[in-house]
Amino acid sequence: MIMAGKKKDNNCWNKESPKGSCKDDDKLFGRFPKGQFHFSIGYFLIVFIVLSMINTMLAKTPATQVPFSQFKSLIADGTIDRVQLGEHEYLGFPEARGTNGPGVGQLGGQTYKTVPVNDPSFIKLMDEKGVSYAAVDNSGGQSIMVLLNWIIPIALLFFLWRYVLKKMGNVGGNVMSFGQNRARIVAESETRTTFNDVAGVEEAKDELVEVVDFLKNPTKYTAIGGKIPKGILLVGPPGTGKTLLARAVAGEAGVVFFRMSGADFVEMFVGVGAARVRDLFRQAREKAPCIIFVDELDAIGKSRANNIGGNDEREQTLNQLLVEMDGFDATSGVILLAATNRPELLDPALLRPGRFDRQVLVDRPDLEGREAILNIHAKDVKLDKSVDLKEIAASTPGFVGSDLANIINEAALLAVRGGRNLVTMADLHEAIEKTVAGLQKKNRLINPKERRIVAYHETGHALVAAATPGSDPVQKISIVPRGLGALGYTLQMPIEDRYLMSQGELIGKIDVLLGGRAAEQIIFNEISTGASNDLVKATDLARNMITEYGMSERFKNVALTKRAHSYLGGETNQSREYSESTQQYVDEEIARIIDERYEIVLKLLEEQRPVLEKCAAQLLEREVMESDIFIDLLKEENFPVKNLQQ
């Protein structure tokens, strides 16, 4: 949703300007509203320059150091006309030209100085030669020099140190405040998020209802002898709403909410994190009942096992957290909520009963959950009557809450860009494609030959998908470049959520991935680099069938690797537990599966070459082919559509 804001008032002295409206770049030399003053590096530079100038002006005139005997000779021959007698030195000045009294200074000529010697004849000599002399008290000048050279520079360094600490995020800039926690305290009146703002994670919400009920009615549980879990760990992929759930718990219970990231505990100084943990729990006990929420717990809670060398700061912070969780009473009204994407990395001591007693899985939403999330994010967006959020939810399997919120926002921006007052289905579908395939690059110039190769490549994927039983339906074929290096794409969307796949469906996926390269070979009698990503995915599927799913002839029902589960997705750590001869078999079996499936796909497309060429020609003309046009073309050509979902 686009929000309109007031125009910035650059006049920080304007009475109408809101307090604190000046930005950081306006604060170099103290442009603040009246009545406010802030220490700035600009002040430090100005004071330093002024003090340097004062010190230079008050510095003594350079004088030539001479022995006492020579000093007397200079008085005797009339070179020195005036003498300034100090406690630690004598200064001799030549004939005065415009002085303002003894000790004030000399406007010209050479100045001489010497170390005082107890000589009774010295005063008599000056009287005989008519030299004016006077004793000078240097205590005031020495005090000024000490002030300028020591006290003021040290004070300036102190203020500069405070300034640096503030920039580093140290609360209040106090040197001794490193141990203070950085939790952001949200009062009960400020936490307005409730369970009505959370959708798609009904099971997780049900688990947290007890926490809310305990904070509202603790005697209900203590009367029967029950205890609420001390700690609740929210586990799930990024963007599923773990932080939102924690805020909803605080909002429903109406209690103070301490929010802090795991990274906020760790500093470069050993022991700071542990001090912050102690300070956090101390404040929480004072404000009980309350909720402590630690986001990204794996930043301080990583397992200490097999940690060669270790990290003293993180381990001390973790140890203090373990002690604090054991130390506070479950009936005190302090509940610790934490969230992580990497539960497999956490120390076992954290996960045992008595600390984090309950682990709540906040998983990716299903079809109904996605629709509910879309309804929440679309309630303030003006939608066209034709918009069907259920259809959008069906087109976004595997999307999490943050992805769906982004789709609604992107669709609204696309509508504004197109000059429309309402968000249409076309805007939502374009937002989905932008999220899945990347930004459309209509201005990228592609030579005609490469454009034909891309058209046949994508048509090959689509035809094999239509001929493969159980394959996801083809929603769109495009040869408009998108994202990072993608010259075209075939968009397939399942019509329902799937959690299991059969061996035949896995092989069908490999067939669809190989369809692009097979089409290139049939039409152009050569292959290109455009299938590199397809080959990587096909090879990974074949390898997983052999090593993880037990779908090979030699190692039936045997898992050859161990894979650590990760909610972050992408690459996961695998440990190989088989011999070199088995590795050779795995490589040969992967090559055999890929080669067999490629020959089958080649045969299919060779038999349907007229359909391939007609479909590719249509794609070259249109650039984008929707599913209805694609299906109609297949029906006209009597293409053997075996996918019942088409």
Q: Which residues are catalytic?
A: 458
The partner residues of 337 in beta bridges, in order of sequence, read: 232, 293
Closest CA to 459 of 645, 613, 627, 644: 613
CA distance 530 to 488: 10
CA distance 249 to 191: 9
The binding site for Zn(2+) consists of: 457, 461, 534
CB count, 10 Å around CB of 427?
25
Per-residue b/e over 200-238, b at no fewer than 16 CB within 10 Å? bbeebbebbeebbebbeeeeebeeeeeebbbbbbbbbbe
Which residues, including other chains, have CB under 8 Å from residue 474's CB and lie 6 or more apart? 462, 465, 466, 490, 491, 492, 627, 630, 646
Structure tokens at 420: 């429309």
Determine the residue type at 79: T
The partner residues of 486 in beta bridges, in order of sequence, read: 482
CA distance 617 to 623: 10
Closest CA to 491 of 414, 430, 413, 449: 430
CA distance 616 to 483: 22
